Structure 1
Amino acid sequence: MTGASRGIGLAIAERLVAEGAKVVITARKQEALDQAVAQLGPEHALGIAGHADDADHQAEVVARAVDTFGSVDLLVNNTGINPTYGPMVELDLAAARKIFEVNCLAALSWVQQAYRRWMKEHGGAVVNVSSVAGLRPAPGIGFYGASKAMLTHLTQQLAVELGPDIRVNAVAPAVVKTKFATALYEGREEQVAGAYPLKRLGVPDDIGSVVAFLLSEDAAWMTGQLLVIDGGVTLTGGV
């Protein structure tokens, strides 16, 4: 599971551990991962630091998952970056390439690594964390939204190619109260939440429970689907 030292990723890991899974979590900083592992329980979790778009890191993580816990049955691509804000005509193309590499290409590469090492012979389930920003134009974060739209398409394509033994689904959260999304609501949470029919922003557990469902046998006849988890905001025209 990538990007799992805090926020949505850690909430997903917590839910999976609560349901009996063993998890390997990744992020850039080992110290943060060590804290997360202590929270999850060292007998249930292993943390390996590295960059999500580093193929050597990916291969190491998948290999150590098999060596430590015996399999790689589940994969969650949660890592996402958005280092820019503003109109796309002013977007730094180097930043755009990095967004694409981390948000899209790395997710595909993680699937390839898990497929080659385990899932090709044994099957499995994958969940990609997309965003409601990928559903319609999102002012200020347009390329981020475009990358998430591509991730959703990759999800559907992989679902077609990898069935019947591997299921691939995605979730599209709206604003969730994490450090990553702070700029979207800080100092005006009540105002932002007012646009949501459920009148609150998301919390990481809201996403963790749905991802755990998609990975479970309860979703055994679901693949290629994008579940929108947004408090209803897209019903009112928001993103």
Structure 2
Amino acid sequence: MSSSTARTVADAVAETRASGAPLAGRTALVTGGSRGLGREISIAFAAAGADVAIVSRKKDACAELAAELAEATGRRVTGHGAHVGEWDRLGELLDEVEDGLGPVDILVNNAGIAPVYPSLDGVTEELFDKIIGVNLKGPFRMMAVAGKRMAERDGGAMLNISSMASGRPTAGDLPYAAAKAALNTLTAGFAQEYGPTVRVNTIVAGPFRTDISKAWDMDAVDEMARSWPSRRVGEPSEVVGAALYLCGPTASYTTGSLLAVDGGRLAAP
């Protein structure tokens, strides 16, 4: 690094100390924000100084968490009901959030579904379209409308929550895995389209103990996890560090990236 771009030690220390509220002054919208990974991200963002809009199909659950979080952090936190698979609803949702909290400069596409089905030939067109709608079509539309607004203002950050299934698909999750693989591709495309002021990144999540995991054979999953570097399944709170980094100021040169938070699952044989 040349002397013209090097920070002084004093400047570096001051910036580090100021990072206690790295998202202060920011407004975040988190889909699937009332439970699982989305709940943990919503809590962490408010604790880091952001105002937060919590979105899911169950508005009451979002409103309940929003009230609790606002009281605990002193931030403005709102709850919103929306199905991310409904294309026309998403522009309205963004208007609704911005009317209450101001311009959104952080978007987290966390909402997702991974329904169990009996066999690949037993997957109906309705189920396939539902999986694609929530896991791919919704995030595409959210990034298109939110990213354009961010680019026209001072910029922002968009974060997708993908899955290790995008790189390790099985017959039991193939439509979901395909949607998440496509979401990884969207990350690169939107980073190109809305850069340099809007950053777009993805967390490739491994197995976490969330509501989705209740449908799993956890004995089998725990046995499989013994071959991973972590030797275990993740807890939802363990996604927080990566989310804060990718949406925060210290990731200013990170965009179009896929960050695995999977306990080493993708590194395992």
Distance in 2 (alpha carbons) for counterparts of 1:95 and 1:78: 19
| 2:182 aligned partner, one-letter code | M
Q: 1:108 aligns with which of 130, 134, 140?
A: 140
Pair 1:139-2:171 in alignment: yes
What is the match of residue 151 of structure 1?
A: 183
Using the TM superposition, give the Cα deviation of residue 116 of structure 1 relative to its aligned residue in structure 2, in angstroms. Answer: 4.0
2:92 counterpart of 1:60: yes
Secondary structure in 1 aligned to 2:31? coil
**1:55, 1:97 → 2: CA distance?**
13
Structure 2 counterpart SS, 1:122:
coil
Alignment match of 1:199 (pick from 231, 235, 244) = 231
CA-to-partner distance for each residue in 1:95-126, whole Å, 9 max, x for gaps? Answer: 11111111111101111221344443321110
Are 1:227 and 2:268 an aligned pair?
no
**Structure 1 residue 36 and structure 2 residue 68: aligned?**
no
2:21 is aligned to none
Whether the 8 Å contact between 2:112 and 2:135 is mirrored in structure 1 is yes
Contact 2:84 2:133 in 1 (8 A): no
Q: What is the aligned partner in structure 2 of residue 126 from structure 1?
A: 158
Identity between Structure 1 and Structure 2 (%): 33
Moved more, 213-222 or 76-85: 76-85
Does residue 2 (structure 1) correspond to residue 31 (structure 2)? The answer is: yes
Aligned to 1:74: 106
Higher RCO, 1 or 2 (CA under 8 Å, sep at least 6)? 1
> Structure 1 residue 185: deviation in Å?
4.5
Q: 1:57 to 1:210 in 2, by over 3 A?
A: same
Matched letter for residue 183 of structure 1: A
Residue 48 of structure 2 aligns with which residue? 19
Q: Which runs of 5+ in 2 are unaligned?
A: 1-29
Letter in 2 for 1:71: P
Distance 1:89 1:14 in 2: 40
TM-score (norm 1): 0.92
Matched residue type, 2:53: V
**In structure 1, the residue corresponding to 2:33 is in which secondary structure?**
coil
CA distance in 2, matches of 1:97, 1:61: 22
Paired residues, number? 237
2:244 equivalent in structure 1: 212
Of 40, 45, 55, 2:77 maps to: 45
Partner SS for 2:212 = coil
User: Would the aligned equivalents of 1:79 and 1:102 in 2 still touch at CA under 8 Å?
Assistant: yes
SS in 2 for 1:172: strand
Q: CA 1:183/1:70 → structure 2, altered by over 3 Å: closer, same or farther?
A: same
2:15 matched residue in structure 1: none
Conserved 8 A contact 1:82-1:99: yes
1:195-228 alpha-carbon deviations (Å, 9 max, x no partner): 3221221111111221111001111101111101
Provide the rounded CA distance (Å) in 1 between the counterparts of 2:105 and 2:142: 13
Distance in 2 between residues matched to 1:187 and 1:155, nearest whole Å: 34
Q: Aligned Cα RMSD in Å?
A: 1.8
Q: Provide the C-alpha distance between the structure 2 equivalents of 1:10 and 1:131, rounded to a whole number of angstroms.
A: 17
8 Å Cα contact 2:82-2:93 kept in structure 1: no
Secondary structure at the counterpart of residue 75 of structure 1: strand
| Structure 1, 180-189 or 127-136: larger mean CA deviation | 180-189
SS of 1:181's equivalent in the other structure is helix
Looking at structure 2, the residues matched to 130 and 189 of structure 1 have their Cα atoms a distance apart, in angstroms, of 19
What is the Cα deviation at residue 187 of structure 1? 4.7
Match of 2:199 in 1: 167
The one-letter code sitting in structure 2 at the alignment partner of 1:68 is G
Aligned letter for 1:214? Answer: L
